[in-house]
Amino acid sequence: MTAHTIMDLDLAAIDSTDRLRKALPARVEALAEDLDQRGLLTPIEAVGPTEEGRYRLIYGAHRLAAAKRLGWAEIPSVIHAPDAFADEATARLREIRENLMRFELNPLERAVAIAAWRDIYEAAHGKVKPGRTAKKGAEGISANLALIHEEAAERFAGGFSEAAQEAFGLSARAIFRALKIATISPEIRDRIADNALAGNQSELLKLSDQSPERQAQIVGLLLAEPPTATTVDDAVAVIDKTQPAQTPKLWEKVSDRFSRLKRSEQHRFFEAHRDAIDLWLAERG
């Protein structure tokens, strides 16, 4: 056998125990649905065979579990020869490297991908038009756009099973937020693609609420050297020459939530944090 080859591997011959990353049931179910409809896009990776004719899984646990769920007998696999890795640690490092180097989509990238997926979906099933009462006038334009996005999100989310919605966060509300973020112009998206803003969903949503002209102004302030503003609210305050809204501190948020608890729940909170309370009382004398 060469250093590695690609072949269909008998599922019964694959050892997937002692994994660093476990296969999560919801993801397995969602992936099984996709494999059943569209087939496998990327082979799993394994090393072997051993003297007993078995292969050890390196990565692809969710794909393997989904294939088993579907009752597949074999699965496309990249097979490394038994001597491809110097020792057990080297083989384990390949699994770790695969998991760490699989860059997940940030909120901006995810929003753009979902919007593109939605466009393809609508091309096949027709565009969504407001089914509820639409508002007229200038103020109604943004309201009607929001209505279209909301109904498009509900319709698009309905095309996914409950398992897919849970595993990939494709609820109607999540899709609505993504479609809203995707309204940020491509030019602005390109400017912030490598900025921390692209990974902050709440900030992206605030940015999407602004007109394209104000978005450009806001991003200009955020990307200035040094930055003239650190948040969208700060940038809006600079543009409008107003004071930015004060973000509650973490302890203020906890205090507010605590004040709304029932007396019995407050007592449970005290018990849970008894050591900290005793220390605070001791320091106060």
DSSP string, 78-113: EEE-TTSSSSHHHHHHHHHHHHHTSPPPPHHHHHHH
Taking a C-beta distance cutoff of 8 angstroms, is the pair 171, 26 a contact?
no
Read off the pLDDT of residues 261-275 as tens digits, 9 standing for 90 and up. 888 888 889 999 988
Closest CA relative to residue 159, chosen from 150, 170, 148: 170
**Total residues found in the chain within this entry:** 285
Other C-beta atoms closer than 10 Å to the C-beta of 228 total 14
pLDDT band at 108 (very low <50, low <70, confident <90, very high): very high
**β-pairing verdict for 55-59 and 14-15:** parallel
The whole-chain average pLDDT of the chain stands at: 82
Residue 138 has a pLDDT of 41
pLDDT band at 37 (very low <50, low <70, confident <90, very high): confident
pTM over 0.85: no
Read off the pLDDT of residues 178-205 as tens digits, 9 standing for 90 and up. 889 999 999 999 999 989 999 999 999 9
Please name each of the domains of the chain with its CATH number: 4-100 (3.90.1530.10), 107-240 (no CATH), 250-284 (no CATH)
Q: Which residue has the higher pLDDT, 161 or 215?
A: 215
CA separation, residue 260 to residues 253, 264, 274, 283 (Å):
11, 12, 20, 28
CA–CA dist 82, 217 (Å, integer): 58
Least confident of 90-99, 212-221, 228-237: 90-99
The tokens describing 11, both together, are 């599922």
Q: Is the pLDDT at 143 greater than 60, yes or no?
A: no
DSSP annotation of 145 reads H
